[in-house]
């Protein structure tokens, strides 16, 4: 796989070495078990897969290249490059400005742009409508296009489904940048509807089975379907694609559910005429990170710490998985570890930061799951690990721990 030129300050002296060690020993990714780092009073379980994925490294490389190649010019990002505050803040410190926020609200007016400006398309991609706006301003929207190749793969499959007269069901968060982009591309070639989760897919199933009228569809999926969508016609042939950061298991569950609904309606023998298999559009990085999280949960850890941007969809799903088994703390950086007695963490349910006392169990050793989302630099995860180690006396040196791993 291609290796990317990303700033060295996103790497780390410990975490990056562990990743290199695991990759060398398991190039085909057959072993999802975590790496155990025994520092004496603290044991960390480090996920087999986490942190920057192919799409994120690609986006970062292109972004810094755009800055390097266009000294003196105004450089803009459509919205956040990725969902990580540290990365976005570093780009801002280098003079990059944002045109929109993550929800699509304008921070500046489009008519403020001129043909000499540089505009970077973020890793999530963008809508066809925005591409046309940029072109109308004399700006080539694809010059610095960091859209993840796996997102583009989803778009290509949606186009293929449309050519074959299938309707596209997008599993995603309708207001998320990536889903907005996927919806924009998909609706050009196919009737398209967005479902948030399996529960919403089951509502769609009721409509397919004629248990709910068309009027119910238009009310329930308002703003979530393409123009001219006819639920009495367009739900007889469907294929499912996803926002690549969603739980792969849930995308598969939605696909299986809708397939079974269509089998119930049209019969097993004709299912290929009514349901398209799109499993190969699932993002490998999201799949690997989630499988690595399941393997983490097979350990005897006391708590989990997940590091990443609070608006990161894939990171939130890792938090959800960990929370089902053990106390889990979602933090954006080591600064949230206020002391060995107090942590400031993000509650994904009420979308607020909260403080909690005595989050570290009073035992020896304390066993901690440590992982991150796909948009989190290794350096930030390393900072978190080192901050926790600073709370304990007589911890082993990192070099000694690495040597123990290499000796296995």
Q: How far apart are CA 224 and CA 171, in angstroms?
A: 11
Burial class (CB in 10 A: 0-12, 13-18, 19+), 152: middle
Residue count of the chain: 408
Q: Do residues 229 and 191 touch, judged by C-beta distance below 8 A?
A: yes
Active site residue 178: yes
Crossing angle between the packed helical segments 313-323 and 284-296, to the nearest 10 degrees: 20
Q: Which two tokens stand for residue 243?
A: 């926002």
Crossing angle between the packed helical segments 177-186 and 128-136, to the nearest 10 degrees: 90
Name every residue whose Cβ is closer than 8 Å to that of residue 26 and which is 6 or more positions away in sequence.
48
Q: Which two tokens stand for residue 347?
A: 């509650």
* Among 112, 152, 178, 268, the one annotated catalytic: 178
**Pairing label, strands 42-46, 167-171:** unpaired
Q: How far apart are CA 77 and CA 68, in angstroms?
A: 15
Element of type H or E holding 372 = strand 366-372
Name every residue whose Cβ is closer than 8 Å to that of residue 171 and which is 6 or more positions away in sequence.
194, 195, 196, 197, 201, 240, 241, 242, 243, 246, 250, 251, 254
Catalytic residue numbers read: 178
């Amino acid at each position: 796989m291609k290796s990317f030129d990303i700033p060295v300050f996103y790497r780390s002296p410990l975490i990056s070495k562990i990743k290199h060690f695991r990759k060398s020993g398991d190039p085909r990714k057959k072993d999802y078990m975590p790496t155990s780092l025994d520092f004496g009073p603290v044991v960390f379980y480090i996920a087999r897969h986490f942190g920057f994925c192919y799409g994120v490294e690609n986006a970062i490389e292109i972004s810094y290249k755009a800055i390097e190649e266009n000294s003196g010019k105004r450089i803009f990002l459509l919205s956040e490059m990725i969902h990580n505050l540290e990365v976005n803040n570093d780009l801002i410190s280098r003079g990059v400005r944002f045109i929109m926020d993550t929800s699509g609200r304008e921070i500046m007016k489009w008519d403020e742009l001129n043909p000499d400006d540089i505009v970077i398309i973020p890793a999530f991609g963008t809508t066809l409508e925005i591409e046309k706006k940029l072109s109308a301003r004399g700006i080539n929207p694809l010059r610095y296009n960091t859209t993840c190749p796996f997102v583009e793969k989803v778009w290509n499959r949606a186009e293929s489904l449309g050519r074959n007269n299938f309707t596209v069901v997008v599993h995603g968060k309708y207001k998320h940048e990536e889903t907005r982009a996927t919806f924009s591309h998909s609706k050009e070639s196919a009737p398209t509807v967005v479902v948030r989760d399996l529960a919403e897919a089951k509502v769609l199933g009721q409509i397919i089975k004629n248990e709910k009228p068309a009027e119910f569809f238009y009310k329930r999926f308002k703003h979530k379907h393409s123009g001219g969508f006819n639920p009495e016609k367009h739900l007889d042939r469907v294929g499912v694609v996803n926002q690549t950061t969603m739980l792969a298991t849930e995308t598969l569950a939605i696909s299986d559910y809708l397939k079974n609904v269509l089998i119930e309606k049209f019969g097993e023998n004709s299912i290929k005429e009514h349901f398209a298999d799109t499993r190969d559009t699932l993002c490998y990085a999201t799949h690997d990170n989630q499988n690595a999280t399941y393997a983490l949960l097979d350990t005897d850890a006391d708590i989990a710490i997940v590091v990443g941007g609070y608006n990161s969809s894939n990171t939130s799903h890792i938090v959800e998985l960990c929370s089902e088994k053990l106390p889990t703390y979602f933090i954006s950086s080591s600064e949230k570890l206020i002391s060995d007695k107090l942590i400031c963490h993000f509650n994904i349910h009420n979308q607020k930061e909260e403080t909690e006392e005595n989050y570290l169990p009073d035992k020896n050793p304390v066993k901690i799951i440590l992982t991150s989302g796909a948009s989190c630099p290794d350096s930030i995860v390393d900072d978190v690990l080192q901050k926790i180690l600073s709370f304990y006396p007589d911890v082993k040196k990192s070099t000694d721990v690495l040597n123990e791993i290499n000796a296995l």
